[in-house]
Chains A and B, each alone.
Chain A
């Protein structure tokens, strides 16, 4: 093309595309379900489905070996996983004394870049899809966890914090595609 166009950094733009698409999706789900708790559930479910597929990609591309303990798992999720797919590296912090629960501080959070939450939507966990992704991905490597948001900058909190709790080691692989 003859035009001296400057479409900007292509990587940045493709993250923006993701962010916009996710925003439109959340808006649609709110219209469809009209109940924020239900929207949270749906987002988590979608994330789970993404997680169980994304782990393959992750293992193939990252060349990370087996994690020796949950602390290493946490670091790998934050430093390798998030970096690979969302180009951020959340801080791992707030370990519980027993070492089975940790927090990820999402700052910045690319999902919420253009988002403002209306005041009446305080029950919505906008980024809940990420909880599902982590649960799904870890389930495929035989770790059952729970993940949930305890604070969100969208709601005026000072940080966006996700808790991840180790439940148990799975003995046998669970068939994929379970809802």
Chain B
């Protein structure tokens, strides 16, 4: 039924809790870092649970496809719309209608607030990939609300 909505409510409230208790820019950055870290923990634990019964992935690209399809489907109820890569560890995930931004005005009025709502998802993605064996940096940018791009850079050692 509707138990999936509860995650959105919780996320919205978490952003509020960490960001709105602070006024200055400095505090906002701390709040964003905190949300990112939270996302990382959750992503790592989540991926551990959800992949325990499936076999190993063939390569990096296949792992990424799994994230774009299966993981995105559970967390955001849709798949990533567009996945691009330079085949050297850089991936561009484009979501045309990102679920956690959808509730906001689609005009540019609140675009500056978007980073707060993307911190947890970035962390989650980084955590999930870390759990799958890839050390990476994840950033996000809003192209036009509610679309956004996640940029993943994988560190090859």
**A residues at B contact (CB < 8 Å):** 1, 3, 5-8, 10-11, 13-18, 20-22, 24-25, 27-29, 42, 46, 49-50, 53-54, 57, 61, 83-87
List the B side residues contacting A29 at CB < 8 Å: 17
Q: Does B38 contact A (CB under 8 A)?
A: yes
Contacts known (A10-B73, A20-B46, A50-B13); A85 close to B5, Cβ less than 8 A: yes
**Across the interface, do A18 and B53 meet the contact criterion of CB distance under 8 Å?**
no
In angstroms, Cα B2 to Cα A71, docked, is 24
Would B2 and A17 count as touching, CB distance under 8 A?
A: no
CA distance A25 to B57 in the complex (A): 31
With CB as the reference atom, state the residue of chain A lying closest to B75.
A17
CB distance from B128 to the nearest CB of A (A): 11
Q: How far is the CA of A16 from the CA of B4 in the complex (A)?
A: 10
Find chain A residues with CB under 8 A from B50 CB.
7-8, 13, 16
* Contact call A85/B66, Cβ cutoff below 8 A: no
Question: Closest residue of chain B to A57, judged by CB?
Answer: B5
- Can you name the residue of chain A whose Cβ is closest to the Cβ of B40? A24
Whole-angstrom distance between the alpha carbons of A85 and B34 in the complex?
27
List 13 extra interface pairs beyond A42-B17, A50-B9, CB under 8 A. Answer: A1-B65, A3-B62, A3-B66, A10-B73, A11-B3, A15-B3, A17-B46, A21-B7, A25-B14, A57-B5, A85-B3, A85-B6, A87-B1
Task: Name the one of A6, A7, A20, A28 contacting B45, with C-beta atoms under 8 angstroms.
Answer: A20
Minimum CB–CB distance for B114 against chain A, Å: 20
Which residues of B are interface residues toward A (Cβ below 8 A)?
A: 1-7, 9-14, 16-17, 34, 38, 41-42, 45-46, 49-50, 53-55, 57, 62, 65-66, 69-70, 73-75
CA distance A17 to B7 in the complex (A): 8
List, in ascending order, chain A residues with CB within 8 A of B46's CB: 16-17, 20
Q: Is the CB of A21 within 8 A of B10?
A: yes
Contacts of A20 in B (CB 8 A): 42, 45-46
Closest to B70 in A: A7
Q: Are A6 and B49 in contact (CB under 8 A)?
A: no
Q: Is B54 within 8 A of A6, CB to CB? A: yes
The 3 closest A-B pairs by CB, nearest first: A87-B3, A14-B4, A18-B7
Q: Contacts A1-B69, A7-B74, A16-B46 given: A25-B10 contact, CB under 8 Å?
A: yes
A sample of 26 inter-chain contacts (CB < 8 A) reads A1-B69, A3-B54, A3-B66, A5-B54, A7-B50, A7-B54, A7-B70, A8-B50, A10-B74, A14-B3, A16-B49, A16-B50, A17-B42, A17-B74, A18-B6, A18-B7, A18-B10, A20-B42, A21-B38, A25-B17, A29-B17, A49-B16, A50-B9, A53-B9, A57-B5, A84-B2
